Amino acid sequence: MADLIEIRHVTHAYATPKGPLPVLDDLSLSVPEGSFCAVVGPSGCGKSTLTRLIAGLMKPDRGEVWLHGERVKSPRATVGMAFQNPVLLEWRTILQNVVLPLEIVPTKLTQAQKEARARELLELVGLEGFEDKRPSELSGGMRQRASLCRAIVHRPEVLILDEPFGALDAFTREDLWQTMHALRAEEPFTSVLITHDLRESIFLADEVVVLSGRPATAQFRLPVPDTGPRTLDDLYTPQAAAMLNTLRHQIEIAQGRTPAAGTRKTLPDPAPTESATPEILP
């Protein structure tokens, strides 16, 4: 598989009143066409910055971003994005919200074809019957489903998901993970998912990349085998537990905390206290 996304030696710093804030340091990453890459790393390490660079919303100080063999220099319509907060427009119905990218990106589709495409996706994510509702009439999980449909309605080459499930409760989040698998089975896209949830990363991704602390570089890569967790039950197997342990260990390194020597931390023996010391009776 050819690499669809190629990030080559990217270094970036933000200008702040206190001077430059280095955020990314010689970060290289590639994502093969059709594959799903999850990026995890400490809070504030530069994950969202990375997504903005891939989408062409920003240019790196040094290094290059390539999409499908083309250098990214400006915002690209071939990128779909979804965020933690699904910014849906309240004055539009759910259907009209999902159709929106097709009204912006040049397309030969008629209005009826655009709506049919949006309806097809809404049905796929379980929102059939909610097409004419307003965003405020839907639950958080349903709004995020609609926002995913909007992100892929124009068949983007790349889908960037920046913690899209982060604000949802655990059960809704797991439902959405399964929806992502259903979408992926129907719609071929190459995806980069930013997440704090290690279970989410191994459930959805083909490869998990751990970023180091700021300024971030790609510290560790974990390929998730084809036999990796793809149903919720699979998340409770010894293989999944081993992957999660490895990732947790890498996150501890990224956070600069003393990593556990083994896969499991053991608590030190409690220091003897006065009350714990057996009293010698006369």
Residues that bind ligand ADP (CB under 6 A): 14, 16, 21, 23, 43-49
For residues 31 to 70, the per-residue mask of contacts with Mg ion, x marking binding by CB under 5 A and - elsewhere, is ----------------xx----------------------
Residue 161, SS3 per DSSP = strand
Find the shortest distance in angstroms from Cβ 149 to Mg ion. Answer: 23
Of residues 47 and 249, the one with the C-beta less far from Mg ion: 47
Q: Which is nearer to Mg ion, 48 or 245 (CB)?
A: 48
- Nearest residue (CB) to ligand ADP, 79 versus 142: 79
**Does 85 contact Mg ion by CB under 5 A?**
no
- In the complex, minimum distance from the CB of residue 88 to ligand ADP, in angstroms, rounded to a whole number: 22
| Burial zone of 64 (CB within 10 Å; 0-12 exposed, 13-18 middle, 19+ buried) | middle
239 binds Mg ion (CB under 5 A): no
Give the separation between CA 23 and CA 154, rounded to whole angstroms: 31
User: Which DSSP string do the residues of 18-66 spell out, in sequence order?
Assistant: TEEEEEEEEEEEEEETT-EEEEE--TTSSHHHHHHHHTTSS--SEEEEE
Minimum CB–partner distance for residue 125 and ligand ADP (Å): 26
**To the nearest whole angstrom, how small is the minimum distance from the Cβ of residue 24 to Mg ion?**
13
Assign 87 to helix, strand or coil: coil
The 70-71 sheet, strands edge to edge? 19-32, 3-16, 62-67, 70-71
# residues near Mg ion by CB under 5 A: 2
Residues forming the site for Mg ion (CB under 5 A) = 47-48
